[in-house]
Amino acid sequence: MWLGLALGVAVYALFGLAPAAVQALISFTNYTALPWASTNFVGWANYTAMFTTQRPGFVQGVTATIVFVLAVTIGQNLIALLLAHRLQGEGRWAAAGRVVVFMPIALGATIVGLIWILIFDPEGGPANSFFSNFGIHSSFFGSSTWAMPLVILVQIWQNAGFSTLVFISGLRAIDPQIYEAADIDGIGSWQRLRRITWPLLAPSVTVNLLLALVGSFTLYNTIYVLTEGLFGTQTLGMLAFNAAFNSESANIGYGAAVTTTLFVATLVVAIPAMLLLRWRERRLLGVNR
């Protein structure tokens, strides 16, 4: 037992905590990874550059992140809840529906991104033909009005299946005897949903909200494939990636500063959210859990 625990914690510390700590350290340097440039400690310079407008992107990044995180977290979970309710059954159609909904997960971020780029290709894509019937012409992922809503759509499309799975497993964990007892007591279907299903689903709600929150906060891969963070879609997660690797002035020290800020911001939002959700769980499930 001790060995197993020690091994697990060692792996976690070595490949999780240590790199993050080094990353935080790098954020105080002007490291560029270029072999001829020397690396020096620069104090808080990267952070001041970020918070002032000396380096562009941060203020806009905060707005983009708030919009993106809220829309994805709420949208993804509402859709998943609806789907889980419909697809939890044993029947053939429910099984087929589950496969369809889970498919984007199996495809992976890169392929999902490419499929949607194809659909919204401004020259030959089907969305363009469709919308041009209504007189709408746009470059979609290359347009400041469309890019953000579309990126949100793709992120939800890709991950709704995972949330649905979590909700389904939560729904299935509810003891059927409770429903039977409720039927005997003659409780209506709305009351059933409100008084039994919803409270007992609380642990799944916690997991799903938390994962959607953190996932959308730190996301860069899907956005990178779709827009590279252009046209108003540069969230802080995307900015951290771009600042370090994908710009003319690529600067790893600065990228590390954005990443570390993002980490702190995620903690500041996610920990109260987690405590709140836990508190809600305990309230809904009664004190004994």
Partner 1 sequence: MRPGFARPRLVSGIAIGLLIAILFLLPVLYAVMIAFETPRHFLLSPMTPGHPVLGNFRQAWDGADLGLELVNTVIYSVSAAFVAVLLGLLIAFPIARRLIRGTSPLYALLLVGLFLPFSVIPLFAEARDMGLYNDRIGYIILHVEPGMPLAVLLLVAFISAIPMELDEAAWMEGAGYLDYLRRVVIPLTRPALLIAFLYAMLGVWNDIIGPVALLADSSLFPVTRGIFNFWGSNSSAWTHLGAAIVIVSLPVVVLFAASQRQLIRARFTGSVKG
Contact pattern from residue 28 through residue 67 relative to partner 1, giving x for each residue in contact according to CB under 8 A and a dash for the rest: ---x-x----------------------------------
22 binds partner 1 (CB under 8 A): yes
97 binds partner 1 (CB under 8 A): yes
16 binds partner 1 (CB under 8 A): yes
Of the pair 53, 71, the CB lying nearest partner 1 is at 71
The rounded Cα 216 to chain-centroid distance in angstroms is 2
The residue to which tokens 């949607």 are assigned? 116
Of the pair 53, 137, the CB lying nearest partner 1 is at 137
Of the pair 9, 59, the CB lying nearest partner 1 is at 9
> Among residues 165, 202, 226, 239, which is the contact residue for partner 1, using CB under 8 A?
165
218 binds partner 1 (CB under 8 A): yes
Min separation Cβ 250 and partner 1, Å: 12
Q: At residue 178, what is the residue type? A: I
189 binds partner 1 (CB under 8 A): yes
Of the pair 148, 168, the CB lying nearest partner 1 is at 168
Cβ burial, residue 158 (10 Å; 0-12/13-18/19+): buried
14 binds partner 1 (CB under 8 A): yes
Can you list the alpha helix ranges (DSSP code H) found in 36-184? 45-51, 58-87, 92-107, 109-119, 126-132, 147-172, 176-184
27 vs 29: CA distance, rounded Å: 6
The 10 Å CB-count burial string (b at 16+, else e) for 181-217 is ebeeeebeeeeeeeebbebbbbbbbbbbbbbbbbbbb
90: DSSP letter = S
> Among residues 42, 71, 148, 166, which is the contact residue for partner 1, using CB under 8 A?
166
56 vs 247: CA distance, rounded Å: 12
The 10 Å CB-count burial string (b at 16+, else e) for 104-125 is bbeeebeebbeebbebbeeeeb
209 binds partner 1 (CB under 8 A): no
Of the pair 148, 252, the CB lying nearest partner 1 is at 252
* Stretch touching partner 1 by CB under 8 A, among 42-50, 61-69, 105-113, 135-143: 105-113
